[in-house]
Amino acid sequence: MKNNNNIFVSIVKWVIYFIGLLIMSLGIVLTIKADLGVSSWDVLHIGLYRQLGLTIGTWTILTGAIVLCVATLLTKRLPQLGAFINMLSIGVFIDLYLMMPFLKTPESFIGQLIMLMVGIIVLGYGMGLYISAKCGAGPRDSLMISLVEKTGKSITFIRGAIEIIVLGIGWFLGGPVYIGTIITTVTIGYVAGMMIPFCHISTDRLLIKLSSNKGTIQENRLLDRKI
């Protein structure tokens, strides 16, 4: 009975994890479709592509692998399976969203700005949701979490610092920097700082509730059989 309960909770955690990845990918695509400038990491990926060739998707995976190695060295813990799934699946989800015809760039600047801000909020919520499932943070979020643990600084500070450093390197390599890039770099740390704790609390409450309900249902079934 206990093993079945653990399996049920694990399945729910993985469902939450993938929903979080889907939501985060949608947020990324909304910021891209806003057409006001890409995020700092995408500035880096495009800069590497322009300087060294390969594809932007390939550089996304390669930089993710390098960042994951750095996070592993800092924490001295092997990455969870979810970290590798994240590294490979985000690109697939983004491509699927980009093929959807109803996700179009607004014609007005105000519309673009609204889409950008909504995208940042959606991205931050998706990030918080998949991290809260504790199936393994993605490469970039693993680095953020490891630096928070190592330095004792806030998520907002660490996330903002990483974004600014990556943005600087990407710009130096020739990546595109526009107003949306600056807005994303400045705000994503604050959004992540609010969403991650909120999602942790919500997910923990849900898993505890489901776990206790599952156990109660199983106990009732056993009692019914005895009766």
Gyration radius of the chain over CA positions: 20
Which residues, including other chains, have CB under 8 Å from residue 161's CB and lie 6 or more apart? none
The DSSP H or E segment spanning 23 is helix 2-33
**pLDDT given at position 226:** 38
Which residues, including other chains, have CB under 8 Å from residue 51's CB and lie 6 or more apart? 173, 174
Mean pLDDT by runs of 10 across the 227 residues of the chain is 69 90 90 84 86 79 86 82 82 81 89 94 91 82 84 82 89 87 83 88 86 50 34
Range list of H helices, the chain? 2-33, 40-52, 56-75, 81-98, 109-132, 139-151, 155-172, 179-226
| Residue ranges covered by each domain of the chain | 2-217
**pLDDT given at position 122:** 95
Residue 46 near residue 169 (C-beta atoms within 8 A): no
pTM recorded for the entire structure: 0.77
Maximal CA-CA distance, the chain: 74
Length of the chain, in residues:
227
